[in-house]
Every structure is written in structure tokens, then in C-alpha cells.
């Protein structure tokens, strides 16, 4: 372990800026631009995002997932509906997402309500997954305790034999779509004077853009 005190760990952010005359008028346009740059710059797992939900007891929880689609309707990911996050979304259908592209010194935060995508959308995406991933969706009762790894390996083998090369989508597995009503784009700057641009959805059906103090 390093002898450097945690209080001495600091980084100066120097890579970019968000200029008022350059920022997009709508958040989806800004996100498309930043996501494309993350892909172009070969950021490791640019599609990885943290999802935060709230349980029935009011306690928040987070986990990493992968974005699989985004458009004017919202942000889409897929998971087990019976998982902890699935159960929490059933009770409180709201979530917050965060992308942290360390190499670009950028963060994107998105908040909004959450709904399940259609069965047709879930079926279509499920068929694009590698076979092992489709079998895994059947084998894993996500978030449930198991006695050892052998349990999940045995279940994967069982479902592999049962379904062969064409496993159907499990009824407990599918997509969620977050419908954004808040976006925030953070760009690290020197002296901790970071750029923060927020977009808030208004009752008249437009986005209000504003710069936030760092």
C-alpha cells in the first residue's frame, strides 16, 4: 500500500472545456457528440454506466450496466426483472444514470422515470446476444444467494442442454428505458473550476439549459 495520504491524492483536469457558444441546445445532441468522441478516442467500455435506484426502505443502491440504445425516447439497458434493481424499479420507477469517461475527464448524469421496453424490443435484442449470454439469462436468478459457483455453472449446463442453440428469451429478462427529465454534462477544469451544464425538462415541452456552479 502506498504511503501517500489519501488527502494528498489530487488530479488537475486540463483536457477540455464546455464553452457556452459550443454546447448543444438539446441534451441528446450533446450526448451523441460526447458518446461519439468516447468511441473515437477508444475509451475503455464507453457504454458502461452506473444505475442508481431506491429500495422500498428508501435506501439507494448502484450497479454498473451497459447502455444498449438511446434516442429521443430515452436510454435503454437490459437485465433480469427479478434482480434487486428490477424489484426496486417495480416499487419506485425512477433512476439516475452516470457515465464516467475518466480518459476524457468527463461525466454525464441523467435522471428520470423508468419503464419496461416492449416485449418485441426485448426479443429482438435478446437474439443478438452471444449464445452463452442467452443461456446465462436463464441460469442466473440474479441477486439471489447461492452456495458456490458450481451451482450457477451446473444450471448453465442444464439450460444449455435443454435449449441447444435457440434459447428463447426468459419472461423475467428484458429491457428498461429511462425517460430523461434531467441531464448534466461535467467537464473537469483546472483549479476545480469545473464546467457543469444542466438541462431540465419544462412543462411546456422544452429543455431549459443552464450553467451550474462547480
Q: Which residues are catalytic?
A: 192
Say if CB 53 and CB 85 are below 8 A apart: yes
User: Rounded to an integer, what distance in angstroms lies between the CA atom of residue 38 and that of residue 81?
Assistant: 29
How many C-beta neighbours within 10 Å does residue 13 have? Answer: 18
Which residues are annotated as part of the binding site for substrate?
68, 125, 129, 192-194
Provide the annotated binding site.
63-68, 78-79, 84-85, 125, 129, 142-143, 186, 192-194, 196
Distance CA 93, CA 86 (A): 9
Q: Name the CA radius of gyration of the chain, rounded.
A: 20
DSSP category for residue 22? T
- Residue 81 and residue 87: Cα distance in Å, rounded? 7
Burial 17-44 (b: 16+ CB within 10 A, else e): ebeeeebbeebbebbeebbeebeeeebe
Residue 84 and residue 91 in contact, taking contact as beta carbons nearer than 8 Å: no
Q: Summarize the chain as % helix, strand, coil (round to 5).
A: 30, 35, 40
In angstroms, the CA 143 to CA 81 distance is 11
Amino acid at each position: 500500500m502506498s504511503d501517500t495520504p489519501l488527502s494528498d491524492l489530487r488530479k488537475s483536469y486540463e483536457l477540455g472545456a464546455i464553452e457556452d457558444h459550443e454546447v448543444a441546445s438539446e441534451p441528446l445532441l450533446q450526448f451523441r457528440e460526447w458518446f461519439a468522441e468516447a468511441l473515437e478516442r477508444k475509451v475503455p467500455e464507453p457504454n458502461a454506466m452506473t444505475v442508481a435506484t431506491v429500495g422500498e426502505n428508501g435506501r439507494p443502491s448502484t450497479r454498473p450496466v451497459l447502455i444498449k440504445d438511446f434516442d429521443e425516447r430515452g436510454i435503454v439497458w437490459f437485465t433480469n426483472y427479478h434482480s434487486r434493481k428490477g424489484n426496486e424499479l417495480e416499487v419506485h420507477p425512477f433512476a439516475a444514470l452516470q457515465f464516467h469517461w475518466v480518459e476524457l475527464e468527463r461525466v454525464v448524469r441523467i435522471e428520470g422515470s423508468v419503464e419496461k421496453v416492449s416485449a418485441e424490443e426485448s426479443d429482438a435484442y435478446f437474439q443478438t446476444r452471444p449464445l452463452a449470454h442467452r443461456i446465462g439469462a436463464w441460469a442466473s436468478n440474479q441477486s439471489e444467494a447461492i452456495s458456490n459457483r458450481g451451482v450457477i455453472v451446473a444450471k448453465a449446463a442444464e439450460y444449455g442442454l435443454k435449449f441447444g442453440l435457440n434459447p428463447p428469451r426468459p419472461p423475467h429478462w428484458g429491457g428498461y428505458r429511462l425517460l430523461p427529465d434531467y441531464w448534466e454534462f461535467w467537464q473537469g477544469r483546472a483549479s476545480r473550476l469545473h464546467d457543469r451544464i444542466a438541462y431540465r425538462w419544462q412543462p411546456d415541452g422544452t429543455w431549459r439549459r443552464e450553467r451550474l456552479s462547480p
